[in-house]
Homo-oligomer: A and B are copies of this chain.
Amino acid sequence: MSVGGEQERPVALRADARRNREQIIAAARTLFSEVGVDVPMEEVARAAGVGVGTLYRRFSDRDELIKAVGLDNVTLLVDLAHQAERSEADPAAALIRLLRTTLELRLDITVMALSPRAFQAIQESHAIAQQRDEVIAAARRLLRRAQQAGTIRPDIDVGDMMLALFLLSRLVMPAADELGEMAFQRLFTLVVDGLRATSGSPLPGRPFDQHDLEVLRQGGMRVIDKPTVTGQG
Contacts and interface: CB of A to CB of B under 8 A. Distances in A.
Contacts of A219: 177, 230-233
Contact of A199 (B171, B177, B199, B218): B199
B203 A190 contact: yes
A152 to B, nearest CB: 12
Given A191-B191, A204-B182, A233 B167 contact: no
A4 interface: no
A189 B187 CA distance: 15
A189 B203 contact: yes
Contacts of A179: 212, 215-216, 220-221
Interface in A151-173: 156, 160, 163-164, 166-173
A38 B225 CA distance: 8
Interface stretch (A12-20, A27-35, A44-52): A27-35
A172 B116 CA distance: 14
Given A171-B167, A193-B200, A231-B123, A225 B180 contact: no
Contacts of A136: none
A69 B40 CA distance: 28
Contacts of A182: 204-206, 208
Nearest to A202: B189
Interface stretch (A72-80, A107-115, A139-147): A107-115
A174 B221 contact: yes
A231 to B, nearest CB: 5
A220 B216 contact: no
9 contacts: A115-B225, A116-B232, A160-B186, A163-B229, A172-B222, A172-B224, A198-B198, A216-B230, A221-B229
Interface of A: 32-38, 112-116, 118-120, 123, 156, 160, 163-164, 166-174, 177, 179-180, 182-187, 189-196, 198-201, 203-206, 208, 212-213, 215-233
